[in-house]
Amino acid sequence: MSRTHSNDETKIALHEVVAEMYDKIVKGEAPTMTLPVRTKTNIGFDEKLGVYKYGKKRSIRDATSLGSAKQLLRALHVVEFIEEMIDAGKSSTLREMYYISEAWGLGKFGSQNESNNLAEDLEVVTKCLREDFKLRPEEDGARMIGNLTLRERNRRGEWMRINARDDVGDSGYGVPYNVEEEKIELLEHDINFIMAIETGGMFDRLIENGFDEAYNCGLLHLKGQPARSTRRILKRMSEEWDLPVVVFLDGDPWSFRIFASIAYGAIKTAHISEYLATPSATYLGITADDIMAYDLPSDDLSPRDIEALKAELSDPRFADPWWQEQINMMLELGKKAEQQSLAKYGLDFVTDTYLPEKLADLGLA
């Protein structure tokens, strides 16, 4: 199911982008780059794939303003850089590319964010992945713990067999940035479900309380908004092992977005949703009604929180009745709560009471 392209395919796709600019100049017009609109107004549910993908809206970035002209020039430099890496058999991090751009004169990046966005632009336009471009993210992947076994190919090219319970320390198995088949093979497991957890504090709490063994599950630390590799390995485990996935997050508008990116696909990466999203994932908590039901210590919603919730109401990914109800309830309540607020009832409350009750609702405990 690997989606990577061969080096030649990648080059051809990139050349198409360059040719669009070149041809426009030859025709006496302003050079352009055509790309899908990357906002929530242009994502729709793909019935076949079961995830949200970009729709048909296209935006044209043309060189009639200084800003977009510079973007085009930068894209050309990036294309050239990728070709050089492909030919030399090298790869670089996005951050390295940002620094390399110092030498690009007029085409140099103003910020790291610009270079990240442009790499994404090129992915979207060419339908290639940044792995095809030999670009690596800076972010490290998540941590994982539980009775599951996989094989990872190390730097020397040797396969290592790793059990994520017996062969790791307390910090668990570190997920590498590349989790494709050529790097990782999922071998076997003895778990009933996977739980993805937002904060490191909660992940460590569940480990300390032995929750993974007591409930026979795999624990995955998301580290906030999960990296691509985290979402990808979650999807692979869910599909290849046919395991249920539950997601345990803070109870605030930003957690809702994290869940949407896990289950339905992120807006920024909607071009590869089918490759990253886990449609079967379930939102375990903290829900708006948990705040009331468990009388959790909470904070008032900030104006930004409220704005985010309102934006979610019109986000197609949250269009189903359950989400609409949760979002409206949180707005009405005017409160949000963190995972760790469960500690109000003691350190074991989360593992002894909260999670068992929530999992029982789903038939997992």
Partner 1 sequence: MRMAGTAERMAKNQKQVAISEFFEKNKHFLGFDSLTRSLITAVKEAVDNSLDACEEARILPEVRIQITKIDDKKNIVELKSEDNGPGIPQRSIEKVFGQLLFGSRFHAIRQSRGQQGIGITGVVMYSQLTTGRKTHVRSKIATEASAAIVDIGLDTRKNKATKSNETREIWELEDGSFKEHGLEITTRMKAKYQKGRQSVYQYLRMTSIVNPHADITFTDPEGQVHHWARVTERLPTKVESIKPHPHGIHLGTLQRMCSESTDSRMTVFLRNNFSGMSTRAAKELLQVAEISEKAKPKSLKPEQYRALLEAFQGERMLNNKPVKLLNPPTNCLSPIEELLIKKGLSKTIDSRFVTTMTRAPTVTQGNPYQVEVGLIFGEGMLADKPVEVLRFANRVPLMYQQGGCLLTKAIESVDWRQYGLDQAGGRGVPKGPAAILVHLASTNVQFTSEAKEALADNSEVMDETRKALLEMGRGLRKHLEKKKKMAKTQEKFELVNDIIPAIAQKSAEILGRPIPELSGSITKIMSAVIAESETLWNKETKQTDISITLFNYTSRARSYTLLASWPEREGATMENNNTGGRKEATGVWAWKLETLDPGQTYVIKFSLAGLEKGDWTDTDVFFRGSQDVIGATKMDEKLLEEIRRQEAAANGDEEEEAADEIPIEESKPLPAPEVPPPNGQQTLFGGGE
In the complex, minimum distance from the CB of residue 11 to partner 1, in angstroms, rounded to a whole number: 10
Strands (E), 147-290: 148-153, 159-163, 173-174, 184-189, 193-197, 217-221, 245-248, 282-285
**Residues in contact with partner 1, shown as a per-residue x/- string from 13 to 32 under the rule CB under 8 A:** --x--xx-xx-xxxxxxxx-
Return the amino acid letter for 155.
R
Cα 106 from Cα 24, distance rounded (Å): 21
Strands (E), 258-328: 282-285, 299-300
Asked if 70 interacts with partner 1 (CB under 8 A), we say yes
Q: Which of residues 295-334 bind partner 1 (CB under 8 A)?
A: none
Return phi, psi of residue 159, to 5°: -85, 135
How many residues bind partner 1 (CB under 8 A)? The answer is 29
In the complex, minimum distance from the CB of residue 94 to partner 1, in angstroms, rounded to a whole number: 21
Asked if 106 interacts with partner 1 (CB under 8 A), we say yes
Q: Residue 123 — left, alpha, or beta (φ > 0 → left; ψ -120 to 50 → alpha)?
A: alpha
Q: Which of 2, 39, 41, 65 binds partner 1 (CB under 8 A)?
A: 65
Q: Which residues are catalytic?
A: 99
Asked if 83 interacts with partner 1 (CB under 8 A), we say yes
Binding piece for partner 1, criterion CB under 8 A, among 63-71, 139-147, 148-156, 204-212: 63-71
CA geometry: angle at 257 spanning 59 and 278, to 5°? 90
Cα 167 from Cα 172, distance rounded (Å): 9
Do the beta carbons of residue 340 and residue 201 sit within 8 Å?
A: yes
Q: Which is nearer to partner 1, 83 or 140 (CB)?
A: 83
Asked if 69 interacts with partner 1 (CB under 8 A), we say yes
Q: Which of 5, 53, 61, 77 binds partner 1 (CB under 8 A)?
A: 77
- Whether residue 262 is preceded by a cis peptide bond, meaning omega within 30 degrees of 0, is no
Asked if 168 interacts with partner 1 (CB under 8 A), we say no
The residue ranges that bind partner 1 (CB under 8 A) are 15, 18-19, 21-22, 24-31, 63-66, 69-70, 72-73, 76-77, 79-80, 83, 105-107
